[in-house]
Structure 1
Amino acid sequence: MQLSSKAKKIVNQITSNVKLGDLRKIAKDIKKDHELALELWSTRKFLPRQLAILLMDNKLLSQDVIDKLDKDMQDHPLDERNQLMDWLMANQLSKDRKTISLMESWENSPSSLQRRIFWYYQARLRWLGQTPPPNTEQLLSAIERQIEKEKPEVQWAMNFTAGWIGVFDKKYRARCIEVGNKTGLYKGEMVSKGCTPNYLPDFIAIESKKRNL
């Protein structure tokens, strides 16, 4: 795609030392601009694509459009793919009832990124203190059954969901801890100071204590 002068100017502004907060400031000044977002997305560069996500119109994000974005993300390294899809979920997909319904349908999607977002969204409902839907038993049973078979990017989100279920719902806490014991996922993982380990027995103990739960 041939970039407009406006898009070229923005791309030139975005250097490798730009932080997410800087992108948010740029997006706040521009406001919603789906056409510009598509121009920035067409650069195939990570930071312009992060900005593009902030500028998108979520009313235009159909399943077909999301599938195209998903396909484009495959050109990025795994950590960038995950960041782009998580950023899309947090800043666009979770903001509109239609796209929320799409996310809720992705549990068995052929796309590992979309499966990741199904689980990440379920975790987010609990983590952000919203009243979760009455599907906890179903989710935990699926985690127990499938987590060891999943791709790493999906495993992380399933594990994250189990963590928050274990924190907020004492009825399921022992089962969530057992998922961690059984799988051993993230056991011994080193984390930065102030961060909570992903290993479920540790995650649940630390986050529950923080909240006196």
Structure 2
Amino acid sequence: MAELAGLDDPKARAVNERHGDDHGVNLGALRALAKRLKTQQELACRLWDTQDGAARLLAVLICRPKAFGRDELDAMAREARTPKVHDWLVNYVVKKNPHADELRAAWFSDPDPVVASAGWALTSDRVTKKPEGLDLGGLLDVIEAEMKDAPDRLQWAMNHCLAQIGIAHAAYRTRAIGIGERLEVLKDYPTPRGCTSPYAPVWIGEMVSRQQAG
């Protein structure tokens, strides 16, 4: 914790806080520290319990994802309120855990929009990697009905799922693009030069063009 405190940069913290995060540690420095520590499950759990943002990010990097039980991950997802900790927990830990799909199904319709966004993120992963058993048309029904008025982080996760359905599944592409055009979610999102817009119709079109060109 003392080493993490020494790495804290007030300027980085100010930037991160504008995005909802609560740490000022450069992520490159954090990854270098994790590389030095290597996997240490007990230390990871103790770091997580501090509730400190940088410590929790480090915990995610040095933990053993498969060592967590279902209820442990459920509790951690409900505690992870800042965007970066939540994102890393889902992508670096939950996705690699044997309970991932069970948690996906449980979180998908959770009344807590942050927890629900984790369910949608896991669903997007299945849309692209293991769509068997998913009701893609049903997912589009929910997106069409609920995405427009969803809280920001849940809306972002639903929009990502919409784009992935359109990109990965040609049979649903026209409908996915149509939903994006009607709802106009993230249509005006500021996108840096050289980056792909998160607006689903543009995102789908660009990714499909790249696939066809490749």
TM-score with structure 2 setting the length: 0.80
Call closer, same or farther: CA 1:34–1:117 in 2, change over 3 Å: same
Tell me which residue corresponds to 2:57.
50
Distance 1:139 1:34 in 2: 36
Distance 2:180 2:62 in 1: 38
Tell me which residue corresponds to 1:11.
4
Are residue 24 (structure 1) and residue 23 (structure 2) matched? no
Distance 1:62 1:149 in 2: 33
Call closer, same or farther: CA 1:117–1:29 in 2, change over 3 Å: same
Tell me which residue corresponds to 2:203.
203
SS in 2 for 1:97: coil
Cα displacement (A) at 1:82: 2.1
Tell me which residue corresponds to 1:99.
100
Deviations 1:3-49 (A, max 9, x none): xxxxx343235323643333233223222323322332344332222
Distance 1:165 1:101 in 2: 21
Tell me which residue corresponds to 2:148.
148
Distance 2:201 2:93 in 1: 32
Distance 1:132 1:183 in 2: 25
Structure 1 unaligned segments of length 5 or more: list them.
1-7, 75-80
Call closer, same or farther: CA 1:57–1:90 in 2, change over 3 Å: same
Distance 1:23 1:125 in 2: 29
Q: Share of identical aligned residues, percent?
A: 27
Is the Cα contact below 8 Å between 1:14 and 1:48 reproduced in 2? no
Tell me which residue corresponds to 1:3.
none
Is the Cα contact below 8 Å between 1:62 and 1:99 reproduced in 2? no
SS in 2 for 1:92: helix
Tell me which residue corresponds to 1:115.
116
Distance 2:132 2:3 in 1: 41
Superposed CA RMSD in Å reads 2.3
Distance 1:62 1:109 in 2: 19
Call closer, same or farther: CA 1:34–1:13 in 2, change over 3 Å: farther
SS in 1 for 2:107: coil
TM-score with structure 1 setting the length: 0.81
Is the Cα contact below 8 Å between 2:74 and 2:103 reproduced in 1? no
| 2:144 partner amino acid | E
Distance 2:35 2:131 in 1: 30
Deviations 1:119-178 (A, max 9, x none): 112223345xx2323312222222122212422111111111110111121211111112
